[in-house]
Amino acid sequence: MVFIAGYRTGKINIWNDLATLEERGKYLQYVKTLESLLCSGSWNNTEEETYKNTSYHLWRQLVLTCNSFGSRLINQQKYPKALGKLGGIEDMSSIVHCPPPPLFFSSRVQLWPVSIHNILEILEKAQGLISYDKMVDPDTANELKAFVKDAYGHYYAKRNKPNAALQYVTAAVNMHRRRNDPLNVSKCRLHSAYVLFQLGRYDESART
């Protein structure tokens, strides 16, 4: 976080602005602020090759941050009774994939009202960031797409829509498998087991 902590526009400290946005739950504005900063390259004072490598790394972290914000919003959501509540279903947040704390997170968090639109918008933003091929190499793009698919699975499992959740989690499993990433394959298979249990397919869940 050193480069952002030291970056200033006039007398405004970008990091303080980001911390405020996070505290207020303005996650999309937070992500867009960092997106603009990274695209501008104005934080850079390194050689071109170092700049390119650093940009790739930071863009990946930005997508992971966006995806993690999506998961946070999912966990904060209290759905209206008309849409149905999950009742006694165990919270999937304990098993959903969470990468190491993203580079851009601060330690201060405040819960703010969340709408379903907010959740889908932040996940769609993560997908959009992945499509910016100047900042993401193909292998990293596939890795990040799998993380976002898994987050969508989390969303639909929390909405008590296990059929949709299973489609997304299965897609994430397959993408990680194609990348020969056994750790994340295992994590997503665990999520698949959870969703299969929601569907009442207990034998399949036990075998997953």
Dihedral sign computed on CA atoms, order 109, 115, 116, 122: negative
Q: Residue 141 has what pLDDT?
A: 92
Q: Residue 78 class from Cβ within 10 Å (0-12 exposed, 13-18 middle, 19+ buried)?
A: exposed
Tokens 């059929």, residue located:
163
Distance CA 109, CA 2 (A): 20
Dihedral sign computed on CA atoms, order 70, 73, 75, 80: negative
**Burial state string for 17-49 with b = 16 or more CB within 10 A and e = fewer than 16:** ebbebbeebbbbebbebbbebbeeeebeeeeee
Contact 117, 132 (CB under 8 A): no
How far out from the chain centre does Cα 15 lie?
20
Contact 77, 116 (CB under 8 A): yes
Nearest to 39 by CA among 9, 70, 62, 11: 62
Q: Residue 103 has what pLDDT?
A: 39
Distance CA 148, CA 71 (A): 10
| Token duo for residue 82 | 């008309």
Q: Residue 10 has what pLDDT?
A: 42
Q: Residue 2 has what pLDDT?
A: 30
Q: Which residues in the chain come in under a pLDDT of 70?
A: 1-12, 41-53, 78-116, 133
Q: Residue 149 has what pLDDT?
A: 95
Nearest to 43 by CA among 6, 72, 80: 6
| Token duo for residue 119 | 């959740």
